[in-house]
Amino acid sequence: MVDAERNRDAVASLGLVRTIDQNGGQILRVIGTQRLVLAFDPDNDTPDLLRTVVMLLRTTAIATASRKGVHEVATAEEKIAEAFNQLVKIDSVKKLSATIQKSATKIDSECTTLNSAVRRLLDHALVALAGAQATGPELVSEAETHGAA
């Protein structure tokens, strides 16, 4: 990143990797106040976080490049620092989201299994009732008189 910044005369840089594992287990890794590495898979991730990170780095670069109005630059740097803190929090929220998603998938799988089991039991019950009707009309008549039919 340092060489890329120097070659391009840049004051900020963003590295992209496809997986969290490639980024040390983090979605967003802050290497410095103007250097970030983001785990972003264009096939699976929405570009919202990427846009936010680019906007933050752009704002940081503008603030660094324009040192004219001291008060305005100080305010901008304060807001940028707050934005960085919020971005770091996104990592823990995204991890929590992934955990919830895994749990939801497990719950959905359990529901599917239970649904199949209930249907199988009901199918067996219907087969048993059909067999009872075929072999014992006196059972059907008795059931009808008690309002079960």
Euclidean distance between CA atoms 102 and 100, whole angstroms? 5
Q: Where are the domains of the chain?
A: 2-103
Per-residue pLDDT of the chain (149 residues; tens, 9 = 90+): 667 666 677 778 899 999 999 999 988 888 877 888 999 999 988 888 899 888 888 887 877 766 666 667 777 778 888 888 888 788 788 888 888 989 999 999 998 999 899 999 998 888 888 887 777 555 555 555 555 54
Question: And the tokens for 147?
Answer: 């309002």
pTM, 2 dp: 0.54
**CA nearest neighbour of 56 among 75, 27, 79:** 79
Distance from C-alpha of 29 to C-alpha of 37, rounded to nearest angstrom: 5
